[in-house]
């Protein structure tokens, strides 16, 4: 049984297109249905005192999808920001967007900034990963560290995992505890690679539009049934034994 409080949950929201195809609908309808699940899952997280929910909205690789789908996804993201920012602020949920913004339109970049400013404070945080990739995240952190070394603010001897961690896009948030993927696939697809080092992994067969608050409750209950050891033995965690030389 985990005695560690669940503070940070991340979700790879997979299965929107498959759900739409199964229901005989256009792909974008699956993404629209998926947007509604964010609200349900966020509510379940808050009910269980989860401080941070991070959702994988659009990956660095998703630009390879058909142009019409990408355009529809950008429009959906824009409308979500415009519609939800004030509601999140009223519910005391802070909004943070991580990822590279260089390929977004000027209007979308502006909408992101406005939404983050509107929902800028709260006792819970919703993080949206858009044009995000774990490898990108580590590369941009490494770039910042190199810049510090070049200008003399940091020596090579001082570069450590902690140094890198301070420049990762989620550095001011609690460590990732639970990484969920819906849709039945068993991979993490370049999402939060650095942050997931000691996260518990949970794979659901449900397609994302089916993953409601009750499914989130099941994932949380599963987390609390696990023993998190972080390199220690099970006996050390439970206090039933000690290491011998």
- The total of other beta-carbon atoms located within 10 Å of residue 206's CB is 17
The predicted structure's pLDDT at residue 245: 31
Whether 62 is catalytic is yes
Q: Among the options 40, 48, 62, 222, which is catalytic? A: 62
What does residue 223 show for φ and ψ, rounded to 5 degrees? -55, -45
DSSP single-letter state for residue 210: G
3-state secondary structure at position 158: helix
What is the tally of helices (H) and strands (E) in the chain?
A: 8, 6
Whether 153 is catalytic is no
pLDDT tens, the chain, 245 aa long: 666 899 999 999 999 999 999 999 999 999 999 999 999 999 999 999 999 999 999 999 999 999 999 999 999 999 999 999 999 999 999 999 999 999 999 999 999 999 999 999 999 999 999 999 999 999 999 999 999 999 999 999 999 999 999 999 999 999 999 999 999 999 999 999 999 999 999 999 999 999 999 999 999 999 999 987 766 665 666 665 444 33
What does residue 9 show for φ and ψ, rounded to 5 degrees? -115, 140
CATH number of 8-227: 3.40.1180.10
CB neighbour burial string for 58-97, b if at least 16 within 10 angstroms, e if fewer: bbbebeebeeeeeebbbebbbebbeebbeebbebebbbbb
pTM, two decimal places? 0.92
Chain position carrying tokens 């090579």: 156
């Amino acid at each position: 049984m985990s005695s560690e409080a669940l503070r940070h949950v991340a979700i790879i929201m997979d299965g929107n297109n498959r759900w739409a195809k199964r229901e005989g609908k256009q792909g974008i309808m699956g993404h629209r249905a998926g947007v509604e699940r964010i609200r349900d899952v966020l509510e379940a997280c808050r009910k269980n005192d989860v401080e941070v929910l991070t959702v994988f909205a659009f990956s660095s690789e998703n630009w390879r999808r058909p142009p019409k789908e990408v355009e529809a996804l950008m429009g959906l993201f824009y409308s979500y920001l415009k519609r939800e920012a004030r509601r999140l602020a009223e519910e005391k949920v802070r909004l943070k967007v991580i990822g590279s913004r260089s390929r977004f339109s000027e209007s979308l970049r502006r909408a992101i900034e406005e939404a983050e400013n509107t929902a800028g404070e709260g006792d819970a945080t919703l993080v949206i990963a858009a044009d995000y990739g774990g490898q990108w995240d580590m590369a941009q952190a490494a770039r910042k560290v190199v810049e510090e070394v070049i200008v003399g603010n940091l020596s090579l001897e001082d570069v450590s995992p902690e140094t890198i961690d301070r420049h990762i896009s989620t550095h001011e948030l609690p460590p990732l505890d639970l990484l969920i993927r819906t849709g039945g696939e068993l991979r993490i697809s370049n999402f939060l690679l650095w942050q997931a080092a000691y996260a518990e992994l949970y794979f659901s067969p449900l397609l994302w539009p089916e993953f409601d608050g009750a499914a989130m409750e099941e994932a949380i209950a599963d987390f609390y049934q696990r023993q998190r050891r972080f390199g220690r033995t099970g006996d050390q965690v439970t206090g039933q034994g000690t290491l011998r030389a």
